[in-house]
Structure 1
């Protein structure tokens, strides 16, 4: 009797090479089309003594694709992008439509000055700067001991 080690991290089993890849491809494409999860861009949020920073990674978009709004201390970043090709000669056997959309909503702190939010899109990253209100900025000073 021969024992074959099972390695769950290895996709291709030595007995049936490529079986897992084919099985996974068939299941994800045919039986479970809604299994595909829409990609939501990664976000970095940081803070300095002067302002809050939000960086959203969204390569391949243009600044016109974004809609940034504030409503009741909720910051919403949304985009919708669809690819439409008017090809007259349809030769392809399988072509999936390209459509992507996402919405990210963030609760703004009360110390954020929503009147002076700045947004810049460059190199695939949307950068938002939310200045802090004057009364909430970090105040520090050296106290003399007597």
Structure 2
């Protein structure tokens, strides 16, 4: 007799949320200056998805977060201030505040009405709550009669 360990072969909601569209990544996620996009972290717990975008040097008013049907787009229009005072000149410039856009297809099981965001210490944090149907349920014990 062989004991077979059950393994869930279905992709998780998390995988479908963030990994379903790599082919269109360049189309949906771009930097208008052809430079590196801000880095991001994606986390999940039983109640929420969390997206964190590393964007130091921005103001919260520089960001636009838009939900169009199931497509969540985070973008920024940031202009670099190249203003120099009389007698000054720029000899080296490494600051790279850039315009960008990142898009994610949301699964059906998120509560679109309760998505929230905050910008603090250079990190834009977006909280995306799951609907009750998407939350993991505790195992149910079945009575044997």
Cα deviation digits, residues 11-46 of structure 1 (max 9, x gap): xxxxxxxxxxxxxxxxxxxxxxxxx84120111111
Kindly indicate whether the alpha-carbon contact (under 8 Å) linking 1:82 and 1:98 is maintained by their aligned counterparts in 2: no
Aligned residues: 111
In structure 1, the partner of 2:100 is 102
The alignment's TM-score, normalised by the length of structure 2, stands at: 0.66
Between 71-80 and 133-142, the greater mean CA deviation after superposition: 133-142
2:61 corresponds, among 51, 60, 64, to 64
Cα RMSD between the aligned structures?
2.4
Which runs of no fewer than 5 residues in structure 2 stay unpaired?
1-32
2: CA distance between counterparts of 1:131 and 1:86?
A: 42
Which runs of no fewer than 5 residues in structure 1 stay unpaired?
1-35
2:118 corresponds, among 92, 117, 120, to 120
2:37 equivalent to 1:74: no
Higher RCO structure (Cα 8 Å, ≥6 apart): 2
Kindly indicate whether the alpha-carbon contact (under 8 Å) linking 1:74 and 1:106 is maintained by their aligned counterparts in 2: yes
Kindly indicate whether the alpha-carbon contact (under 8 Å) linking 1:113 and 1:130 is maintained by their aligned counterparts in 2: yes
The alignment's TM-score, normalised by the length of structure 1, stands at: 0.65
